[in-house]
């Protein structure tokens, strides 16, 4: 447990990446598996992660992110794209997956399916987008913890044009929109931010026991 806390203290939102250092395929696979195993409401995972490892696309994304250097200096860019709407077909496909994975009959899941359809599918379009974006952020948080545990640097970012990202990555046609991005790689020795003391609320201010 102590090492985990130490690693969380080690991590920070990396401002300067070393463009000469790439994460290995093994490291990338580990991070993606950690994202895959993230919790989500009902287990629906109403999002996709676009893994960008293409210099030309990264340059385009950089322009759509106000020319922040992380977009091109980082090893990879992960775009967390939430679904703009969840429909009955998506829920039905999820029930099929559960049934196959757990060797159940789809009919046995009717109660669970109805509960989802009577909650998520009843949300307004605006509320659905907000809800799916929240689910994507849970996965982003899992990435940050997993990366810190293996001393891989990440910068979570909201400073970008979602509309332009959607256009560049062809997300509109896939019922997706960019919620957040994470640049992944290794910090530059010149990034002075890594030496700044971590500032957080005190435990007294943050936690209330009732």
- Of the candidates 183, 200, 199, 198, the residue with the CA atom closest to the CA atom of residue 16: 183
Residues 159-179 pLDDT 10s: 999 999 999 999 999 999 999
CA gap 187, 192 in Å, rounded? 10
Q: What is the pLDDT of residues 190-206, one digit of tens each?
A: 999 999 999 999 999 99
Tell me: pLDDT of 1 over 90.
no
pLDDT band, very low/low/confident/very high, at 2 (cuts 50, 70, 90): confident
> Looking at residue 99, what is its pLDDT?
98
Question: What's residue 39's pLDDT?
Answer: 98
* CA–CA dist 103, 51 (Å, integer): 32
Q: What is the mean pLDDT of residues 131-139?
A: 98
What are φ and ψ of residue 76, in 5° steps?
-140, 155
Does the pLDDT value for residue 4 go beyond 90? Answer: yes
Q: What is the pLDDT of residue 57?
A: 98
Average pLDDT, the chain: 98
pLDDT recorded at residue 198: 95
Domains, the chain, in order of start with CATH, read 2-84+137-206 (3.40.109.10)
Tokens in use for 73?
Answer: 């200096």
Q: How many residues does the chain have?
A: 210
Residue 14 in contact with residue 183, Cβ under 8 Å?
yes
* Mean pLDDT to the nearest integer, 103-112: 97
Instruction: Answer yes or no: is pLDDT of 81 > 90.
Output: yes
Confidence of residue 53 (pLDDT cuts 50, 70, 90): very high
Q: Global pTM? A: 0.96
What is the distance between the alpha carbons of residues 138 and 150, in angstroms, rounded to a whole number? Answer: 19
Helix, coil or strand: residue 134: helix
DSSP state of 174: G
């Amino acid at each position: 447990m102590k090492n985990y806390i130490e690693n969380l203290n080690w991590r920070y939102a990396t401002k300067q990446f070393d463009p000469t250092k790439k994460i290995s395929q093994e490291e990338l696979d580990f991070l993606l598996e950690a994202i895959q195993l993230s919790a989500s409401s009902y287990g629906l995972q109403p999002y996709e992660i676009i893994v960008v490892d293409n210099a030309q696309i990264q340059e385009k994304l950089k322009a759509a992110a106000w020319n922040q250097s992380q977009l091109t200096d980082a090893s990879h860019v992960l775009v967390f794209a939430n679904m703009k709407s969840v429909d009955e077909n998506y829920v039905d496909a999820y029930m099929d997956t559960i049934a196959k994975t757990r060797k159940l009959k789809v009919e046995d899941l009717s109660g669970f399916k109805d509960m989802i359809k009577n909650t998520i599918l009843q949300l307004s379009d605006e509320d659905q987008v907000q809800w799916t974006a929240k689910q994507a952020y849970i996965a982003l948080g899992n990435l940050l913890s997993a990366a810190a545990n293996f001393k891989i640097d990440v910068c979570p970012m909201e400073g970008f044009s979602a509309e332009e990202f959607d256009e560049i990555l062809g997300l509109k046609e896939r019922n997706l929109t960019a919620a957040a991005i994470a640049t992944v790689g290794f910090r530059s020795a010149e990034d002075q931010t890594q030496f700044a003391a971590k500032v957080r609320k005190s435990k007294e201010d943050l936690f209330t026991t009732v």
